[in-house]
Structure 1
Amino acid sequence: MYDQTRAQQPDDRSSGFAARRTQGPEPLIPSDERDKIVRHLGHAVNHFADTPREALEEAEVAFDAAADALVKALAERRRDLREGWQDQDAETRSTELRLALREYREITGRLLRA
């Protein structure tokens, strides 16, 4: 049943890191780069019948761009994670290490499922 009072209540979700985590993992490749790669690949697929060799070359360029973007994104993510826990004091270190381990596990799991 619809509860009008409850519907008017503010959302309980916070706007920080926790809110992003509840919506699923962030993409590894930024959306603008992903969009560009998808457009190239789509162009290759759509023009295959007319120019198969050129379409395959364009698909290869899209593949290489995706691989390069993934390697770059993973290196940046690794650097950010390492900076987040490497020089922490003893009191916050345990929490930071736990969060970093969770991130490493999540990213590695995503790579293995891909």
Structure 2
Amino acid sequence: MTYDQERARQLPARSPLPGRHDPRGGPTPGHLPPDGPSEARADIPAHVSLLAQSDRDRLTLRLQHALGTFVRNPREAVDEADTALADATTRVTTALVERRRVIGSTHRARGTEAETEDLRLALRQYREITLRLLRM
């Protein structure tokens, strides 16, 4: 059995994340209901990642390589895992800063003339991203 399989077996069953639907029916505790009819469609669906699939795959391979080399060279494995985490952190931070810039540009560019609907959409996007970060 691999380390990951053993670890998965040992971890306690987790309840669904807040904001997700429980397969037994109904929203989970902490679910934020939509603000209105248009709220049901999200500008940033929960399943969309901040990183491109190719970047996630590359970082996953680096981490798997680090795990695979631990027995042969533990220090090198830990250094490689550290570098992979640093790279992932940098990429996610860059993506979040860019996303914040894009959201802000929709209402800051208009200044006091921003429409209420633009402000509502911006607030909803800020909420979605913040809650996703807090659920990590």
TM-score, normalised via structure 1 length: 0.74
Aligned 8 A contact 2:107 2:119 in 1: yes
Distance of aligned partners of 1:113 and 1:45 in 2 relative to their CA distance in 1, 3 Å threshold: same
User: What is the identity, as a one-letter code, of the residue corresponding to 1:38?
Assistant: T
- Matches of 1:19 and 1:74, distance apart in 2: 17
State the 1:19 CA deviation. Answer: 8.0
- Matches of 2:87 and 2:123, distance apart in 1: 29
Per the alignment, residue 17 of structure 2 pairs with none
Distance of aligned partners of 1:19 and 1:87 in 2 relative to their CA distance in 1, 3 Å threshold: closer
Match of 2:51 among 29, 38, 41: 29
Q: Does 1:101 align with 2:123?
A: yes
Q: Which has the higher helix share?
A: 1
Q: Does 1:62 align with 2:91?
A: no
The number of aligned residues is 95
State the 1:86 CA deviation. Answer: 1.6
Measured against aligned partners, the alpha-carbon deviations of 1:56-113 in whole angstroms (never above 9, x if no partner) come to 11000000001101110110000010112222484x6211111110010010001111
State the 1:34 CA deviation. Answer: 1.4
- Matches of 2:109 and 2:47, distance apart in 1: 26
Unaligned runs of 5+ in 1: 1-17
Percent of aligned positions that are identical: 39
Q: Does 1:110 align with 2:129?
A: no
Larger Rg: 1
Per the alignment, residue 108 of structure 2 pairs with 86
Distance of aligned partners of 1:94 and 1:19 in 2 relative to their CA distance in 1, 3 Å threshold: closer
User: What is the identity, as a one-letter code, of the residue corresponding to 1:43?
Assistant: H
- Matches of 2:88 and 2:107, distance apart in 1: 29
Unaligned runs of 5+ in 2: 1-40
- Matches of 2:58 and 2:101, distance apart in 1: 25
TM-score, normalised via structure 2 length: 0.63
State the 1:25 CA deviation. Answer: 4.0
Deviating runs (4+, > 6 A) in structure 1?
Answer: none
Query: What is the RMSD computed on CA atoms of the aligned residues?
Result: 2.0
